[in-house]
Amino acid sequence: MAMLRQSFGDLLAPGFRKIFINKFNTYPSGIETIFNMNTSSRQYEDDSYVAGFGLLVDKDEGASSTYDDPIQGYDKRYTHVTRSLAYRVSKEMQEDELYGIMGKLPAALARSTKITIETDGANVLNNCESDSYLGGDGKRLLATDHPLVGGGTQKNRLTTAADLNATSLEQAYIDIAETTDDQGLTLHLRPKKIIMPVELDWASQELLRTPKDPDSANNAINPAMGFVEPVINHFMTDADMWIILCDEHELNWFWRVKPDHMQDNDFDTDDAKFKVRARWSRGWSIPWGVFGSSGAG
């Protein structure tokens, strides 16, 4: 439906000091802090991996070597979704509007696009323990029983959910250091950043940026200082959630078509039509390099 003069009388009436739209700024982009950013030229992208060899086996003198085979890992398909939004404005509305709002609507559409992208990216974390978001191994992003193709399972979340504090962060550090590949060989994962909602901003500053232990009166050092970089994501919806990303991980974002803003005029009505369209997908191929908790609440 077009924007008609009868629906926007304020924009046609003189006397208002000003009429504004989207006065306030949006937060900086957060998807680049969460995902490995990729481009795609296909309708979907498939990821897979091969688990390498296990440990070497003792060999007696004159005996044959033990043979081992790599193992095919789990597959993950990223199917790109198209998203679009449009509006149209009558010719008369463009001609008679007094406050320049019509000229600012393309920027408003761009703002909606940006927030849609950020919300969709953050939802991968918001739903990290939801069965509606599953990875190639059929498990949630954070789980205590990710199956290993070589046998057994492995966790990338705390066994008992906990809020962010020195104790839970220490346990996360230990669990990350003990992470193995699918053949049981230890991975060298180095925690790099911790993604969290704004509700944890102050607590994380105290925990991660103070040289002395905030929970001790004995002038003890704070081993958590500098452990990871705190990153606030304003689109996370769980006030207790915290997720550590290591220097290597497989949280991926694929741009099939970056936001494309289009404008046209309708010949019959003289309406101006504006539209934005984009295609992308996001998710994870393997869970290693991601570790966290949805909090104790």
Give the per-residue SS3 of 148-170: CCCCCEECCECCCCCCCCHHHHH
Give residue 251's domain range: 31-55+75-293
Residues paired with 262 in a beta bridge: 275
Encode the chain (297 residues) as per-residue pLDDT tens digits: 665 556 555 555 565 445 446 655 666 778 999 999 999 999 999 999 999 898 899 999 999 999 999 999 999 999 999 999 998 888 887 888 776 777 778 888 888 999 999 999 999 999 999 998 899 999 999 999 999 999 999 999 999 999 999 899 999 999 999 999 999 999 999 999 999 999 999 888 888 887 766 666 656 677 777 788 999 999 999 999 999 999 999 999 999 999 998 888 888 888 888 899 999 999 999 999 999 998 877
- pLDDT for residue 29: 77
**CATH number of the structural domain spanning residue 261:** 3.90.1690
DSSP designation for 221: B
Residue 62 is assigned to a structural domain of this protein: no
Predicted TM-score (pTM) of this structure:
0.87
Q: Does residue 184 sit within a domain? A: yes
User: In this structure, what DSSP letter does residue 154 have?
Assistant: E
What pLDDT sits at residue 39? 96
Q: Does any domain span residue 12? A: no
15, part of any domain: no
Per the DSSP assignment, residues forming a β-bridge with 168 are none
On whether residue 24 sits in a domain, the answer given is no
Q: Mapping DSSP to helix (H, G, I), strand (E, B) and coil, where does residue 229 land?
A: strand
Residue 177 within any structural domain of the chain: yes
Residue 253 lies in a domain: yes
**Do the domain assignments include residue 194?**
yes
Q: Measured between alpha carbons, how far is residue 182 from residues 152, 176, 191 in Å?
A: 9, 15, 20
pLDDT at 20: 46
Total domains in the chain come to 1
Q: Name the phi and psi angles at 63, rounded to 5.
A: -85, 160
- Other CB atoms closer than 10 Å to residue 230's CB: what's the count? 19
Distance between CA atoms of 16 and 19, rounded to whole angstroms? 7
